[in-house]
Chain A
Amino acid sequence: MIQVDEKPVKWYQGMTIADLLEQMEDVRFCSVVRLNGRLVSSPKFADTRIPKDAVIQLLPLVAGG
């Protein structure tokens, strides 16, 4: 299991952030997540594997400036 926005989500070996978002609804604005405290941005979603027991926060809009 991993925690995504404080809710448990089923985890599997090799799961990437892109895979996680694929199975979630309403994530069209998610271009950055925090994976175990570290920022990961959308260009890296497909290559970033989620470790077991990870804690993930989906960051909403990036507002800038």
Chain B
Amino acid sequence: MGHMQLKEIKAAPYERAEVKKGYTDQSLHINLDKTDIRISPIDTAVKEKFIGGKGYDLWYMWNAVTGSTKWDDPENTICISAGPLGGTPGYPGGGKSIVTAISPLTGAPIDSNVGGYFGPYKKFSGFDVIALTGKADQDTVILIDGIESKIKIFAASDLPETAYEMSDALTRYFDEEKPVNISVVTAGPGAENTYFGCLNFSWFDAGRKRVRYKQAGRGGIGTVFADKKIKAVVARFGAISMKTNNPADLEALKTVTKTHAKEINALDPKQNRMALVGTTHLVPIMNDHDCLPTHNFKFGSHPGAAVIGEDVYEHIFDKGFDGCWRGCAVACSHGVKDFSPFTGPFQGKKVFVDGPEYETVAGCGSNLGIFDAHTILEINFYCDAYGMDTISVGTSIGFVMECFENKLITTDHTGGMDISFGNRHSTLALIHQMARGEGFGAIVGKGVRQMKQIFATQYHADAAFMQDIGMESKGLEFSEYITKESLAQQGGYGLALKGPQHDEAWLIFLDMVHNFMPTFEDKAEALHWFPMFRTWFGLCGLCKLPWNDIVPEDNKDTEEPAKVIKHIQWYADFFSAITGKKTSTDDLISMSEAVYNFQRVFNLKMGYGTRDHDTIPYRAMGPVTAEEYESRQERYDTQLTEKYGMDISGMDTNAKVAALRKERESQYEQLKDAVYERRGWNRNGIPTKETVKRLGIDFPEVLEVLEQNGVK
């Protein structure tokens, strides 16, 4: 490879909009077909209704695409937004970016909430949201330079291949002296060659003097980015402080920031110790509660989990401050320095691995039967460097392994590879193939939904069995929790707008362990409230973790401890302090409800968003095979006899599997009914006209979509 070349093909100076109360009220549109740069104001009505962040992203996407737009059509638009509260230094989790596009995996809008400094830098450079549309005819790098007030588009050649090297090279290229002023968004070769490409959002770690990154992982936004021939989008901005958002009440902002940060500093060491172990504490906890996916979600625990959890990673993680946002007291974005991969292009070199988090350990470790902390690190490193979502990678390979062990596919299909559970060599070989778009890896890189079809039509594999064990819904691979014993979390996955990601609702413990939602109505209430509140973080540009991963000491004495009401009040205060709008905790929910329902209608516009699309594979509900049933026989037998009043004395295991399945599938359908009703949707899962009117999103084009889908 030669020396990196960036040839400026367009430069547009602009007058940087002042940030007022968290907003610039400007949007930036870059059309790569025409190399066109356009800046336009954001209507007050849009601001009132969509708030910012994911709300803005969805609104601009809605206007850019038609119902027949496919992920690789030029009009598919990647939107990136920060939200009005994003960019508050010192507020825990106060600097996320929210990215959306039409997903290659689902065909519908996908959203991802990601750390790194890009979102805030872009906002402070003058833009609440950027929309990237069209397709370039050559590799392209875009610079949003808030220091010099210029947007530049470059034709790029000889860039480093991986996101790992590219983020570093571009950071130093655009501000050698002050690399901390730069944040880079990159994908990688894996994003070009799979449908689950992720985006890496960087920040410069001043303590370690190196570029770090976090991933907007879900749904293949990196694939869309690569398809547009965008190699990187770079934001450059200078010093920031609490004043940079120009808050309505600086003193109130300082007070609430200090209060929340102080609590985290005091309580994290006594609670989950995330500043030391990140989210790896969840590995032993999920394992003990039978919720850690092992062997393609077949089981929920394994003795090997003991060596891939916090006890191990605490000692491997590099010591130092690990906030993916400036001054975030949770500081949970850990990494490992001087790691030496044993395969691939970095074999034998020393690299820094950003991660792993719980999801990667579970998805690329236990779910594959790999109980080796170092192999998980290597998978983590390559997935990020290649630009591939570790969750989809883990869940897809888990599916392949089970198909292989059941002889649905053989070495004839895998190019001679033994893809049995636990085979780390084959796993890494597959990941390298996926990134290059070669061999059997090219098929795995299409994700579980497409693999099911390919295996059935080309390899004559059992389609019904693959439907049961293929852990995808709406086309998106499941994130890493076993939900068999939590009906509420089955809904948390199946009824999530974008597909089975846990960021809308995580109810396993409330439901399964504490039994706090015994009725369908209780579960429906939780599946209304939690997704609405969690959506709010995406509107405002915040990280959810500081809300309920560290909780006040007196939280248990409150009326509804699961909601962590004290923190919600702080978030309302935070919103009031920045925007100047006196905001109550209930207001936060109503802000989200409008955007949430709009996204459901957006799904509908794209041909999805109805009851059928909220289906989940049976493995998410219960034991598919006799082996699974017998592994937890006492539990299931007791349920059949005590909960469902059956006489099982004459039943063999297969009969019991079938009987349990009938009950559980029926429960899931009843849950759908209860949740739809609570959300103000009809029995087909579509928001009613009354609901969209109540929420003020009864725009003519929304009503048109409803009418086209039979809503009178």
Contacts and interface: CB of A to CB of B under 8 A. Distances in A.
**A and B associate:** yes
Interface of A: 5, 26-29, 31-32, 38-44, 57, 59-65
Nearest to B561: A29
Task: Determine the main DSSP class of A at the interface with B.
Answer: loop
B485 to A, nearest CB: 12
Nearest to A40: B288
Given A31-B513, A39-B310, A61 B288 contact: no
B556 A29 contact: yes
Contacts of B285: 32, 39, 41, 62
B548 A61 contact: yes
Nearest to A31: B513
B551 A60 contact: yes
B3 interface: no
B555 interface: yes
B249 interface: no
Given A26-B557, A59-B272, A64-B506, 4 more contacts: A39-B288, A39-B310, A65-B479, A65-B506
Contact of A31 (B514, B549, B555): B514
B282 interface: yes
Contacts, number: 69
Contact of B551 (A40, A61, A65): A61
A3 to B, nearest CB: 12
Nearest to B269: A57
B508 A64 contact: yes
Contact of A41 (B284, B514, B562): B284
Given A26-B556, A59-B271, A61-B562, A39 B284 contact: yes
A31 B284 contact: no
B556 A63 contact: no
24 contacts: A27-B556, A29-B514, A29-B561, A31-B289, A38-B311, A39-B281, A41-B288, A42-B288, A42-B513, A43-B288, A59-B272, A60-B271, A60-B556, A61-B548, A61-B551, A61-B555, A62-B285, A62-B509, A62-B513, A63-B549, A64-B506, A64-B508, A65-B503, A65-B544
Contact of A63 (B288, B289, B514, B548): B548
Nearest to B309: A39
Given A62-B509, A63-B549, A64-B502, A41 B556 contact: no
A41 B481 CA distance: 16
A42 B270 CA distance: 18
B117 to A, nearest CB: 23
B502 A65 contact: yes
B509 A31 contact: yes
A30 to B, nearest CB: 8
Given A29-B561, A31-B289, A44-B288, A61 B509 contact: yes
Contacts of B479: 65
A33 B200 CA distance: 35
B282 A43 contact: no
Contacts of A44: 288
A22 to B, nearest CB: 16
A64 B545 CA distance: 9
Contacts of B561: 29, 60-61
